[in-house]
Structure 1
Amino acid sequence: MVSDLPAVTPDYFQILVVRELRKVGFDVGQARVHRRSELPEPERGFVLELQIPLSRPGGGSTWRAVAVCRHQSGSVGRDVVESVRDRLPGIPADVALVFATADFTADAVTAAQEAGIALLRLVDGRSAFDMSGWSTPGHYPAWLPAYLSQLIDRDIAGQPRARLLEAGRADMILDRLAPPLRR
């Protein structure tokens, strides 16, 4: 049940972000808190910005990433994505990922695509498992995490879509990032 889910605190969110980035195949350096603040009403949540060195397994370039983690009740809009884009040089970061517990507006998805920013939504693991068709709904394996991340982007027809991050598929995120950091 949804009520059985652990509370998403800033520390818990940081653990989830690092876990998801490692799952897809990034070598993840030491995450450092860049900014942490409470969101004003009506959002009733928080924003946590993490500076994280990322690289592909086996060496190569290391990128300075900022993971913006938003725990809020309302949808994440275009203004959030544009603010992250505008602040990248001052953080400093080469690339941005926005993780959120709420939905992203269609305008936010468009802005992220234009800016080369990856959008990821934190979702209830059991709900995602039920919708996946992997098993009978209501029966969950012991290994299923409480939360999973969905990459939010557009399909070939331009429609918004959500895809669960897959193990070893860093390309899912890399394909969304600004051109200098793509494979």
Structure 2
Amino acid sequence: MLELPKLTPEHFEILVVRELRKVGLLVSELRVHRRATLPEPERGYLLELKGTVSRGPWHRRVLIACRRQDAAVGRAEIESLRDRFGEADVEAGILFATAKFDRDALAAAKDACMALLRVTDGRTAFDTSGWGTPGHYPAWLPAYCAQTIARDLLGEPRYQLLESGQADAIVNQLRTETVDPGEAPRA
């Protein structure tokens, strides 16, 4: 079995842009906002990117957090990112993480105008996606893929591979209660 390439901060940034563009979002004005090494038990790093995501007339200034870590992402990580929105002068956040998200993280993200995406290896994503026979991988399969996260009927996290044309899976989580740019007021 081939070993996965190391997910460096630079590769993580490329992955984020690729996955957002794949679903139909334009990513612009992207720059590094912050880098940090995570202490135990997370064992990894945090890369924050500041930029704009848009689709048609809709756009949002966002802080994109890239967390490579082993420990599950919880409420504290969501709230920490949300607390930096003002400092970064952004309206919303997108959190990509290599770890699973716990139930509290999903609840906190819903209240924080934040989209959550899990980064998983391409083979695991393929095996669980129903695209083809598990264990038989096409040449085009990327080393890493992103999955959207939603709650199932019991409130537990449910992961689904992010596919082309699924911008709404992210956009709907980044909408605010006020009228979004390019939208008619909601009744």
Q: 1:159 to 1:76 in 2, by over 3 A?
A: closer
Partner Cα distance (1:89, 1:64) in 2: 11
Structure 2 SS opposite 1:167: coil
Structure 1 SS opposite 2:90: coil
Superposed CA deviations along residues 88-146 of structure 1, whole A, max 9, x for unmatched, are 11111111011000111111111111222111000111111112222111111111111
- What residue number does 1:31 align with? 30
User: Any stretches of 5+ residues in structure 1 without a counterpart?
Assistant: none
TM-score, normalization: structure 2?
Answer: 0.89
User: Any stretches of 5+ residues in structure 2 without a counterpart?
Assistant: none
Shift of 1:52: 1.8
TM-score, normalization: structure 1?
Answer: 0.91
Partner Cα distance (1:61, 1:120) in 2: 20
Q: 1:175 to 1:155 in 2, by over 3 A?
A: farther
Superposed CA deviations along residues 10-46 of structure 1, whole A, max 9, x for unmatched, are 0010000000000000111132000001111222210
- What residue number does 2:113 align with? 116
Partner Cα distance (2:58, 2:48) in 1: 22
Count how many residue pairs are aligned between Structure 1 and Structure 2: 180
Contact 2:63 2:94 in 1 (8 A): yes
Contact 1:115 1:178 in 2 (8 A): no
Q: Which stretch of structure 1 is more off in the superposition, 149-158 or 45-54?
A: 149-158
Task: Say whether residues 1:174 and 2:171 are aligned partners.
Answer: yes
Contact 2:68 2:98 in 1 (8 A): yes
Contact 2:23 2:162 in 1 (8 A): yes
- What residue number does 2:157 align with? 160
Structure 2 SS opposite 1:81: helix
Structure 2 SS opposite 1:21: helix
Partner Cα distance (2:156, 2:99) in 1: 19
Partner Cα distance (1:113, 1:94) in 2: 14
* Match among 94, 100, 103 for residue 100 of structure 2: 103
RMSD: 1.8
Contact 2:92 2:112 in 1 (8 A): no
Partner Cα distance (1:177, 1:54) in 2: 10
